[in-house]
Amino acid sequence: MRRAVVTGLGPVTPIGIGKASFLEGQHQGRSGVGRIRRFDTSALPCQIAAEIHDDLSSWVDPKESRRLDRFVKLALAAAALAVEDAGLSEADLASPRVGTLVGSGIGGMETWEEQSKIFHSRGADRVSPFFIPMMIANMASGQIAMRYRATGPSSTVVLACATGSAAIGEAARTIRLGEADLILVGGAEAAVTPMAIGGFGNMKALSTRNDQPQAASRPFTASRDGFVLGEGAGVLALEELEHARARGAHIYAEVVGYGSSADAYHITMPAPEGRGAQAAMRAALESASLAPEAIGYINAHGTSTPANDLTETQAIKAVFGDHSGKLAISSTKSMTGHLLGAAGAVEAIATIQAFESGVLPPTINYDDPDPELDLDFVPNRARAQQVEYGMSNSFAFGGQNAVVILRRWS
């Protein structure tokens, strides 16, 4: 039976770019949230986000950059990091057996807003001819394929906040079916823009803790008041086991389970008691042929919204029963903010790094526990603890859910 293993990690996040910096940020409990620098927020109720201020020119040529939306630039940087980490050469990648599957929940929001202003102020003939290919959501996957001349299966998933996890699950299936030997897979998002902040803010989905930005993302606490929007990308080199062994690759982990479901309930609110989340977790366990007791760690969706954190906790209790009290659960969104379509991929990388380092990332800002949410959320400090199996949860607007189970490689 063909198996899908992870051989390269490419995180681009508000708390660190590259696996070493990202891991250090997790272990330090670093917050990437601050007041928004990119545009004037004085008229907005929410004035904070988790932005990336690093120079991306090491990974994206400045000339090429002018024709790329920011989410594609972040994806290209993440792919370059994953390729380097996996020890892949140009010859390894330029193959019909190598694919790309990098999703985005929103796509080129920044480009859309900029070109919309031009259209309304200067007319249609001033809209950039690159507008469409810059903003469409499949362009991260397409640009990565072009950069590495990877001519195998190339596609995109768009599942809002569940995009990154769904991409990993679908890429693992593609490898198991024998349609590819290696896939650069993940998600990218760059939606820290005036319209996105305004839209999410008007939904009352965002934290307005503007005076304490680093304390604003506080999953599972009594005082949580909304999520903090972030930007970033995560790309993994996902490879068929024997293909990885043949080239002497370092193997981090195996993707052993994937489950998806629909709440079929509401456009933004999770189903009562997390019924859809329960279904996705159970489906992932079934696909991995695992009993619930095998899972040692969950990287929770944990957005810091009142409804999500409650229903996810209820869902975990329903699926894991008595074992839920023994699980270590943390939300790395407390540090990175919510990366939307990139979240699942970045959080899978965090889970894999927990295997590799033997240290679980914390849920920071956990200083006022919600008595209704009484599980072990690895509060405030990273914890030395080795686990064999980790679950990564992603639950999206539209009621679409994706759950990935990873196994530590030994």
Q: How many CA atoms, within 13 angstroms, populate the side-chain half-sphere of residue 92?
A: 18
In a domain, 405, yes or no: no
In a domain, 410, yes or no: no
In a domain, 329, yes or no: yes
Q: Looking at residue 363, what is its pLDDT?
A: 98
pLDDT tier, 68 (very low <50, low <70, confident <90, very high otherwise):
very high
Q: Looking at residue 403, what is its pLDDT?
A: 98
pLDDT tier, 395 (very low <50, low <70, confident <90, very high otherwise):
very high
Q: Looking at residue 329, what is its pLDDT?
A: 98
Over residues 205-229, the mean pLDDT reads 98
Q: How many other CB atoms sit within 10 Å of the CB of residue 370?
A: 18
Average pLDDT, the chain: 97
pLDDT tier, 149 (very low <50, low <70, confident <90, very high otherwise):
very high
Q: Looking at residue 207, what is its pLDDT?
A: 98
Over residues 8-15, the mean pLDDT reads 98
Over residues 63-75, the mean pLDDT reads 96
As a whole number of angstroms, the distance between CA 232 and CA 117 comes to 25
pLDDT tier, 313 (very low <50, low <70, confident <90, very high otherwise):
very high
Coil vs helix vs strand at 45: coil
**What is the domain extent for residue 140?**
1-398
Whether the model pTM is above 0.95: yes
pLDDT tier, 283 (very low <50, low <70, confident <90, very high otherwise):
very high
Active site residue 27: no
- CATH number for the domain including 246? 3.40.47.10
Q: Nearest-CA neighbor of 342 among 115, 190, 147? A: 190
Active site residue 161: yes
Q: Looking at residue 230, what is its pLDDT?
A: 98
Active site residue 338: yes
How many domains does the structure of the chain reveal? Answer: 1
DSSP single-letter state for residue 97 = T
Coil vs helix vs strand at 1: coil
Query: Quick one: which H or E segment has residue 364?
Result: none
pLDDT (tens digit per residue) in 151-187: 999 999 999 999 999 999 999 999 999 999 999 999 9
In a domain, 409, yes or no: no
Among 120, 161, 266, 323, the one annotated catalytic = 161
In a domain, 407, yes or no: no
In a domain, 6, yes or no: yes
Over residues 383-387, the mean pLDDT reads 98
For the chain, the straight-line distance linking the first and the last C-alpha, in angstroms and rounded, comes to 19
Coil vs helix vs strand at 243: helix
Q: Looking at residue 195, what is its pLDDT?
A: 97
Over residues 387-402, the mean pLDDT reads 98
As a whole number of angstroms, the distance between CA 74 and CA 410 comes to 31
In a domain, 404, yes or no: no
Q: Nearest-CA neighbor of 219 among 361, 72, 118, 403? A: 361
| Percent of the chain residues past pLDDT 70, beyond the cut | 100
Among 27, 243, 266, 301, the one annotated catalytic = 301
In a domain, 403, yes or no: no
